[in-house]
Chains A and B, each alone.
Chain A
Amino acid sequence: MQCPSIIWLLLSSLMGACIVTMTSALALDESAERRLTHLVRQDCGSCHGMTLKGGLGGPLLPKDLKEFESESIASIILDGVPGKPMPPWQGQLSKEEALWIADKLKKGFPQ
Chain B
Amino acid sequence: MKRREFLKASALGTAAAALVSPAAACPGELRGTGDLAVIIERASGSVMIVDTTAHETLHRVEGFGDLSHASAVYSRDERYAYIFGRDGGLTKLDILEGVITKRILQAGNAIGGAISDDGKLVAVSNYKPGGVRVFDANTLEPVADIPATFENDKRSKTVGLVDAPGRRFIFTLYDAGEIWIADFSSGSKPQLTRFMDIGDLPYDALITGDGRHYIAGLFGEDGLTHIDLWADEPAPRRILSGYGRGEKKLPVYKMPHLEGWAEGGGHFLLPAVGRHELLVMDAGTFKEAGRIAVHGQPVFAVARPDGRQAWVNFAHPLNDTIQVVDIPSLKIIHEFKPGPAALHMEFSPRGHEVWLSVRDSNEVHVYDTSSFRKLAVLKAQSPSGIFMTARAHRIGL
Contacts and interface: CB of A to CB of B under 8 A. Distances in A.
Nearest to B43: A50
A46 B69 contact: yes
B201 interface: yes
Interface residues of A, number: 27
A88 interface: yes
A55 B109 contact: yes
Given A49-B86, A56-B127, A87 B317 contact: no
A89 B316 CA distance: 11
Contacts of B219: 84-85
B311 to A, nearest CB: 20
Band of interface residues on B: 20 to 34
B157 A49 contact: no
Contacts of A49: 66, 68-69, 86, 109
A11 B68 contact: no
B292 interface: no
B203 A85 contact: yes
Given A43-B316, A46-B69, A85 B255 contact: yes
12 contacts: A11-B317, A14-B340, A43-B254, A47-B254, A49-B86, A49-B109, A51-B66, A53-B66, A55-B68, A55-B86, A56-B174, A84-B219
The 4 closest A-B pairs by CB, nearest first: A50-B68, A87-B251, A14-B317, A43-B316
Given A49-B66, A49-B86, A84-B219, 14 more contacts: A14-B340, A45-B68, A46-B69, A47-B254, A49-B68, A55-B68, A55-B69, A55-B111, A56-B111, A56-B157, A85-B252, A85-B255, A89-B251, A92-B317
Interface of B: 42-43, 66, 68-69, 86-87, 108-109, 111, 127-128, 157, 159, 174, 201, 203, 219-220, 251-255, 316-317, 320, 340-341, 359-360
